[in-house]
């Protein structure tokens, strides 16, 4: 197998840094919220939007970011996104009040939504076909590592300096990534001659997803029968239907072209990712809740308590690339998928009086499962389409991951809220998560048929 040249290795490191920044910023500020409340003289419900605004905007714009990367150049869009991310990180770091901080975080997410799909598609483009399994492993492995390190980095900077340094350190790292990418990554883009962008489609899908994600975010406060939740869900349905009609008539400029929508294997991977994310994200929220409210852990302690899950996720993600190349995508995706319902059943077993160790087997299996599943699913999704669609494929994949996470959290929140006790509610939510994962296994068995990477002989 041919070794990667020095320039390619540096390029992969730079893009890995970009992914690490984006993923780290999802979790790093979660442990800083109490200090932010005091410093900005506000309340938890307000500063919570420092995290929510970032996740919401990022989730709904990744499809548009992916399409822009394919149309106008992946390196160009990555650099644009990184500049926005760095500049808005600096604005957030010096924000004098909560409103400006939340606005800057939302703009940071715009930059991240441009960087993420461009990074994944550039990684696939840089690697030879026989090494394509490394692309999903690199991006998702670094993302898992970033998520894992976020609470620890954020906690350390917050305690030693200030929460503002969590944001400020993004600037030099992003600038370094830009410099290395410009030096080592050639420009690439799709083959379409028509470079027009489907603005109407972008507005419709963005509006529909904002309505859905806000409804699911607020359902714990307002309730499923609240008129505002029902109105938002209705808006989601209407706008998504309008988006579907728009895409049928948009022709060559469609945000989601017909060849992408018609690919059965690609659709199966997206559905599996949606279902597995409904499982994974509910565990990521309610396992720490169990640690804090039942076991008495601090916020930083709960973040550290998740390390068996997150470090296995990151570590196994890096191994999934060689496994994909050796055994094929279907075997690795199925192995990861099979672990998830078992993990959720194990996480449903700890009850009142259980100690931390009772959570470890379920967390370990969940980390192993998602470490095998997500990177391999990403490789299968991108490889199932033409290379000119790689940015769009990356964006759609992550959009379904975020949407699945929001749906799973909405369902889990309702279950926990209606249960007679927190522990019983978490147990029921984990059981429902196991059911979602079991359906995901069926989708993988029946519909996912990724291409096996072609072997490339040494020269």
Please give the Cα distance from 142 to 318 (Å, whole number). 8
- Whether 222 and 260 map to the same domain: the answer is no
Same domain, 107 and 178: yes
pLDDT of residue 430: 93
> What is the number of helices (H) and of strands (E) in the chain?
18, 0
Nearest to 172 by CA among 80, 82, 50: 82
Q: In 3-state terms, what secondary structure has residue 132?
A: coil
Report if residue 339 sits inside a domain: yes
Considering the domain architecture, whether residues 423 and 300 belong to the same structural domain is answered as yes
Instruction: Tell me which residue range forms the domain holding 224.
Output: 199-254
> Do 327 and 446 belong to one domain?
yes
Contact at 8 Å (CB) between 184 and 125? no
How many whole angstroms separate alpha carbon 15 and alpha carbon 174? Answer: 10
Looking at the structure, do residues 83 and 34 belong to the same domain, yes or no? yes
Q: Is residue 458 part of a domain?
A: no
What the block records as the tokens of 437 is: 């994962």
Residue 191 reports pLDDT greater than 70: no
Between residues 431 and 395, the one the model is more confident about: 431
Q: Are residues 238 and 171 in the same domain?
A: no
- Rounded to whole angstroms, the Cα distance separating 308 from 362 reads 10
> What integer is the mean pLDDT of 280-292?
81
Q: Which residue has the higher pLDDT, 389 or 366?
A: 366
The answer as to whether 193 is a domain residue is no
Phi, psi of 191 (to 5 degrees): -95, 0
- Identify the band that residue 454 occupies on the pLDDT scale cut at 50, 70 and 90: very low
Boundary (domain end) residue, out of 154, 186, 218: 186
Q: Is the CA virtual torsion 44, 46, 50, 54 positive or negative?
A: positive
For the chain, the residue count is 459
* pLDDT over 80 at 281, yes or no: no
Q: Where are the alpha helices (DSSP H) in 94-198?
A: 98-126, 133-160, 164-168, 170-184
What is the pTM (predicted TM-score) of this model? Answer: 0.73
Q: What does the pLDDT read at residue 55? A: 77
Q: 169 φ, ψ to 5°?
A: -70, -15
In a domain, 456, yes or no: no
> Do the domain assignments include residue 459?
no
pLDDT of amino acid 118: 81
Q: Are 333 and 188 in contact (CB under 8 A)?
A: no
Domain count, the chain: 3
Query: Is the torsion defined by CA of 427, 428, 434, 436 positive or negative?
Result: negative
| Interval 81-101: pLDDT, tens | 999 999 999 999 998 888 898
pLDDT of the residue at 306: 80
259's tokens:
């060849």
Same domain, 365 and 268: yes
Residue with the bigger pLDDT between 30 and 84: it is 84
pLDDT at 81: 92
Match 């992408």 to its residue by tokens.
260
- CA 5/CA 346 separation, integer angstroms: 44
Give the mean pLDDT of the chain.
80
Residue partners of 205: CB distance under 8 A and separation at least 6: 60, 63, 64, 239, 240, 243, 255
User: Which of the two residues, 340 and 311, has the higher pLDDT score?
Assistant: 340
Rounded to an integer, the average pLDDT of 103-111 is: 90
Distance CA(394)–CA(65), nearest Å, equals 9
Residue 169 C-alpha from the chain's centroid: 21
Whether residue 18 is found in the same domain as residue 150 = yes
Q: What's the pLDDT band for 140 if we cut at 50, 70, 90?
A: low
Share of the chain above pLDDT 70, in %: 87
At residue 56, φ and ψ (nearest 5 deg) are: -65, -50
């Amino acid at each position: 197998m041919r070794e990667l040249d020095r320039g390619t290795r540096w390029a992969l490191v730079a893009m890995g840094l970009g992914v690490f920044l984006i993923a780290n910023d999802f979790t790093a500020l979660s442990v800083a919220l109490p200090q932010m409340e005091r410093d900005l003289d506000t309340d938890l419900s307000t500063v919570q939007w420092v995290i929510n605004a970032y996740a919401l905007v990022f989730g709904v714009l990744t499809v548009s970011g992916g399409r822009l990367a394919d149309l106008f150049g992946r390196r160009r869009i990555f650099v644009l996104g990184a500049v926005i991310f760095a500049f808005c990180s600096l604005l957030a770091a010096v924000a004098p009040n909560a409103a400006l901080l939340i606005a800057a975080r939302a703009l940071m997410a715009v930059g991240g939504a441009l960087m993420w799909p461009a990074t994944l598609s550039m990684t696939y483009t840089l690697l030879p076909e026989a090494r394509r399994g490394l692309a999903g492993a690199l991006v998702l492995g670094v993302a898992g590592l970033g998520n894992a390190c976020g609470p620890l980095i954020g906690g350390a900077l917050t305690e030693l300096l200030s929460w503002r340094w969590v944001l400020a350190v993004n600037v030099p790292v992003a600038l370094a990534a830009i410099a290395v990418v410009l030096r080592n990554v050639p420009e690439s883009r799709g083959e379409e001659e028509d470079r027009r962008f489907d603005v109407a489609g972008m507005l419709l899908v963005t509006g529909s997803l904002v309505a859905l994600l806000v409804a699911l975010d607020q359902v714990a406060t307002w309730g499923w029968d609240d008129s505002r939740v029902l109105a938002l869900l209705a808006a989601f349905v209407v706008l998504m239907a309008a988006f579907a009609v728009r895409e049928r008539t948009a022709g060559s400029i469609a945000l989601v072209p017909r060849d992408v929508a018609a690919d059965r294997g690609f659709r199966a991977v997206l559905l599996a990712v949606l279902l597995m994310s409904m499982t994974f994200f509910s565990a990521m929220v309610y396992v720490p809740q169990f640690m804090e409210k039942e076991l008495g852990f601090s916020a930083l302690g709960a973040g550290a308590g998740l390390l068996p899950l997150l470090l296995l996720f990151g570590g196994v993600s890096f191994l999934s690339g060689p496994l994909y190349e050796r055994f094929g995508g279907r075997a690795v995706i199925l192995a990861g998928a099979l672990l998830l319902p078992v993990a959720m059943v194990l996480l449903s077993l700890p009850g009142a009086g259980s100690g931390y160790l009772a959570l470890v087997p379920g967390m370990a299996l969940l980390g192993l499962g998602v470490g095998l599943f997500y990177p391999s699913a990403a490789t299968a999704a991108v490889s199932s389409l033409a290379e000119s669609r790689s940015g769009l494929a990356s964006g759609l994949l992550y959009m379904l991951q975020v949407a699945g996470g929001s749906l799973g959290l909405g369902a889990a929140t309702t279950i926990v809220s209606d249960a007679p006790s927190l522990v019983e509610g978490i147990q029921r939510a984990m059981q429902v998560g196991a059911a979602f994962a079991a359906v995901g296994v069926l989708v993988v068995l029946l519909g996912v048929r990724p291409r096996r990477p072609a072997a490339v002989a040494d020269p």
